Each structure stands twice: as structure tokens, then as C-alpha cells.
A and B are shown apart, each in its own frame.
Chain A
């Protein structure tokens, strides 16, 4: 299989702007799937709303472009209907941590077997560059023209606290590492999330005086600190840095496994067929 075999090229050209990192994240996802040799028919990919979420249209799996924030519950439904299918969620920072925040934490809590890939560009791109929960403090957006007064969200910490069993952060610069994380996440039994730092040159870049996508990716590279190195750095030294790497991995019972094992050990109630 070639990467092209995973694409619906008749749905091209894509909607993404020049310099956007979304294509890199999607390519990395497809590389991971390709190297795992999972048949296309055994993969479902669900997305919400936003620039990132358009990705599902371009790939030849069972794909759902759902509502804003609702990719995770839709994906849970798919998994309940097809427990053996690999279900991936493509989402953005606003989609999953703002409007879909409730679903994110509860999916993590249940440790339901989904692989969530967050295209984190720290801004609402599709609607024209408004502030998102992951926009850095003081950054300018179209709704924080004088700088963002809010503290930003760390999606990885959020889902680790909620009970996710595989959590990693990658960037569109560290592509080989990103592919490795996505592969591991897909193979992981339980809720996995990869927070991928990716640039939005058109909105975030323009509002914050970055020349182009390349400049932004260079800065993503410079800001990145491995999780191993971060352990030896003080809080002050970590200020403004992005900790990348495998943040959490543990084996715990997965939701559907637990559900089925609860009932498989018990007998049907005597009145179970009463009607």
C-alpha cells in the first residue's frame, strides 16, 4: 500500500491553507496506519468541526464528519457497534477541549479504546482566528486583539488527570516521533491521546507577527523540550517551553472489555425474555 491508496483523491484539493501543519499530522497518521498494516475496512475515523476535522473527508476509511465537539461520543457509538474496529478521532484544540471538553474527560475516565489525535494550533482557524482554550497567555487573536488574558489549557494534563492510559505530545516538526506515537496509541488498549502542536500561519501567525508557516515550525522546534530533559529543568526554565514525548502509558481495563466481562459471567435474568 502507498499513502495515496489511503486517500480519496477525488475529494481534493483540500481546504487547508499554505503553511498549515494539518497535512503533516494527517500524513503522519496515515504513515502509522500503513506501517501497522491495518486494512482500511477495519478503521473508522470520526472528526468534529474545524480545520483539522476536515481530514476525515480525505481518507478512505469509514469516516464521519460530526458536529462541533461531538466527535468523541460519535466515535464511542461506532465502537459500541463495532467493538473490533480501530476507531480514531481527529479533532482540534477548540473542538475537543472547549465545546467537547465534557466528552473528552469522560471518554478518558472510562478508558474507552479510542485514539484521539488533537491538531493543536492554539486558535480557532475555521471561524477566522478566535482565541481557544490552548491559546497562550497574552497571544493576540481576533477576539483577544490586545492579548489573551486567559490562562491556557494543557490538554495532556487534563486527560491524564481524567484517567487516559496513553498520552503523548508531538509536533509537526518531530515527524518520526509523531508517527511512532500514533502507532503506539493505535495499538494501545484504552483511551489514547496525542496532542500535536501545529502552526496556523494565516490566523495565529498573522496576528502574532510570524512571517510564515516555516518560521512557526522553526519556533515549535526551538520551544520543544523532551519529557526526559524537562525532568531536570525548573519551573522557570520550562516557562514558554513545550514538553514533548510519551507522558503516560499504563495498562488498565478498557471500558467495553469490562462491560462485556461483567455480563458474560452472569446468567440472564429469569424474566429476561418475559416480553
Chain B
């Protein structure tokens, strides 16, 4: 059955479908509907919803619940996302499987609470202090919000790491018809359980692809976690070898398996001379811009990134090859374009940016392309 659903509602329903058992959050525009929908449905699924005193409490509460055995999520936007940064680093360090949704709004600071932005891409990669890595997913439709939120839970458990769903105000508030019966979801991934008896279990001893099992509390496995650098027992260490091993493992447990989860979508890229690179709501405009340009006889295509971090550089580089012009469209002052310039350095790469709280329209993208083509012809 097709239903008209809002992006934020789809996010909430996907979390419940994924087995969410604890949600902690704090009201913030434009993500509040996620908390509202969850507060209404979760209790009947034997889950617990808590509106915390702030976003710092929210992320820390879900980390505690995740370590104890719950399937957890929080949702926020710009200012709240900033407050959660320390918690993200902590979740990386203690390897807590958490899902964090950021419905981006205009920033910096209080910025534009009710209007769209894609300004938090770099913050989602680098916002917490120190080198860390977490998976970032970007939906561009209501259905994709549903699919990626669901997928985020599986990835968090698979890698025992935080996963960020980086959406935006327009996708969050967009209402689209979604046929939920015909969405194919992968089975729920269970967290890795130890195969050894409690006495021989260590919380940071990787047993499977660099990921250590994480037993539930109350099952006989008692362990210690700390945000300090620690050894495989979870005890603080200043041993140089143990520190670098931990740092490497926290990155490699995800990076070495990028092929398992890295997603992008190509549209009319095969023969495209002009290539858009886009993500989130901007990808929707880019698709339409491709159609308009094609009708005008210009061979355009779109590369939509779904996984924004880490990115499969080889795959992206090969798609960027042999294009006349590449346009990176985003609702910020130029963030993803830095990657694209690095990966497609031989091409002519242009940034199309908007940061006034409105989306880039298909016509704007078309105009930008035509302007560049004319400049090229004039030379």
C-alpha cells in the first residue's frame, strides 16, 4: 500500500522496523518529528523513549544503552549535532553501535532553523577531536530515508561503531508516496556475540574482521570501557604499540570493508561529458537538470553519493575520468567539492553552491552549466 509519508516519519518508522529499543533526544527544528513519532510508537514495541535535558545527555544515554545491549538512536540538527561531537568520538572509542540522525539546517550557530543546508558534511567526518572514522549516509528521498535509517542500524552493529544518517531539512519535511510493502530490506544484523566463555572474553580483542564482539550486560560477560586509549582488555594504556594498533584498527575495521556498504547511484553517466556530483536533496535537482540538458542536446549525467564517509576513492575516480566538465552541487560553501577536486584533478571541476536556506533548483544547475559551456566556447 502506498502511503503519503514525511521524511522524518519514515526515519522514525525505519528505526522501529530495525528493532529500535531506546531513543533519547532533545527537541530541535527540523528534526523534532522523528522524536515525536518515536515517542508515539516505540512504547508499544516495548521500547523506551526519553526526552533528555539536552543533546549531550541524549547521545551519552544512547551510548550507555547500546553498551548494555539496546538498539539505539538519537536525532538532532545543527546546534545539537555540535553538542554531540564529543559523544561521537566517545562512541567511536568504546565501539558503541549507535545511530545518529542529523536533519541539517542552515548554520553556523542557530542559523536557519527551518531551512535547508548541507553544511554539516565535513563536521560529520571531522567534527569530534582526534582522528576518527564513522560511516555517514545521505538519503535524497523519503523512501531512501527509510532504507538508509534501517541500514544504519545494521551497519552500526556490523562494525560496532556509530553511523550517521546525514539528511537535510527538505528531505526531512518532504512528503512523498512510499510503497512500504515493496521495499526490500536486508535481514536485521545481530551484534556479534562472543564465542568464548566470560573468563576469556576481552572487549577490544577483535575476533571477526577487526570487530570485537559485544555481549549484552547481564549475560556473564563483564567488561570495562573507557574513552582513554586502551588495550584489548579495555584498560587505559600509554604503550605506543597498543595506541597505534587501536587507532589503526578503529579505522581499518571499516575502511577495509568499504565494498560491503559503499553506495552511489549513476544516472546517464555512461556517455556524459558534463557530470554533476551531488547528494541528498540536491541530487533530486541534479537528476532533473540532467533531463533538461539532455533535451537540449547536452550529454549530461549525475553521480549521486549515498555513502558520504568513507568514500570509495577508486570507484569515484573512475567515474570522474574523461569528463569535459564536472559540477559539484551542494548547499554549502563547498565541502564535497574538495574531495572531487582531489580525486578528479585532471578534469575541469566547478562548484555550484547555495547557502541561503533554499535548494538549488534544476534550472539553476542548468544555467550554471550553460554559462560554463559558453565561457568555454568563447575561449
Contacts and interface: CB of A to CB of B under 8 A. Distances in A.
24 contacts: A41-B220, A44-B217, A63-B222, A64-B226, A70-B56, A70-B87, A73-B61, A74-B60, A75-B64, A77-B60, A77-B63, A77-B65, A80-B65, A80-B70, A81-B64, A81-B68, A81-B217, A85-B68, A85-B217, A102-B57, A262-B43, A263-B43, A272-B44, A275-B3
Contacts of A256: 48
B52 interface: yes
B130 interface: no
Residue of B62, B65, B68, B218 contacting most chain A CB atoms (<10 Å): B68
A225 to B, nearest CB: 34
Interface residues of A, number: 43
A103 interface: yes
Given A82-B69, A102-B54, A74 B222 contact: no
A69 to B, nearest CB: 8
Contacts of B223: 62-63
B22 A81 contact: yes
Interface of A: 8, 10-11, 40-42, 44, 46, 56-57, 60-67, 70, 72-78, 80-82, 84-85, 102-103, 106, 256, 259, 262-263, 268-269, 272, 274-275
Interface of B: 3, 13, 16-17, 21-22, 24, 40-41, 43-44, 48, 50, 52-54, 56-58, 60-70, 72, 86-87, 90, 94, 180, 217-220, 222-228, 233, 235-236
A67 B68 contact: no
Contacts of A272: 41, 44
A173 B75 CA distance: 46
B53 A102 contact: yes
B226 A85 contact: no
A269 B219 CA distance: 34
A45 to B, nearest CB: 9
A106 B53 contact: yes
B218 A73 contact: no
Nearest to A74: B64
Contact of B53 (A61, A103, A275): A103
A109 B317 CA distance: 55
A262 B50 CA distance: 14
A275 B17 contact: yes
Contacts of B52: 73, 76, 106
A82 B40 CA distance: 21
A42 B218 CA distance: 6
Contacts of A77: 22, 24, 60-68, 70, 72
A44 B217 CA distance: 8
Nearest to B146: A275
A275 B180 contact: yes
Contacts of B72: 77
A254 B225 CA distance: 28
Contact of A70 (B60, B235, B236): B60
A62 B222 contact: yes
A41 B227 contact: no
A211 B44 CA distance: 61
A74 B180 contact: no
Contact of A41 (B13, B69, B222, B225): B222
Given A73-B64, A77-B65, A81-B65, A57 B226 contact: yes
B224 A63 contact: yes
Nearest to B9: A275
Contacts of B220: 41
A62 B217 contact: yes
Nearest to B43: A263
Nearest to B61: A77
A78 B68 contact: yes
A141 B226 CA distance: 28
Contact of A63 (B13, B62, B63, B225): B225
Given A77-B24, A77-B65, A81-B21, 5 more contacts: A62-B67, A78-B64, A103-B53, A272-B44, A275-B180
A31 to B, nearest CB: 19
Nearest to B58: A73
Contact of A80 (B22, B94, B219): B22
A67 B16 contact: no
Contacts of A274: 3
B66 to A, nearest CB: 7
B13 A76 contact: no
Nearest to B215: A62
Contact of B69 (A40, A56, A81, A102): A81
Contacts of B48: 80, 256, 259
A57 B227 contact: no
Given A77-B22, A77-B24, A77-B72, A66 B86 contact: no
B98 to A, nearest CB: 10
A82 B65 CA distance: 8
Contact of A81 (B70, B86, B235): B70
A66 B65 contact: no
Contacts of B68: 44, 62, 77-78, 81-82, 85
Nearest to A272: B44
A155 B24 CA distance: 26
Contacts of A67: 60, 86-87, 90, 227
Contacts of A76: 24, 50, 52, 57, 61, 64
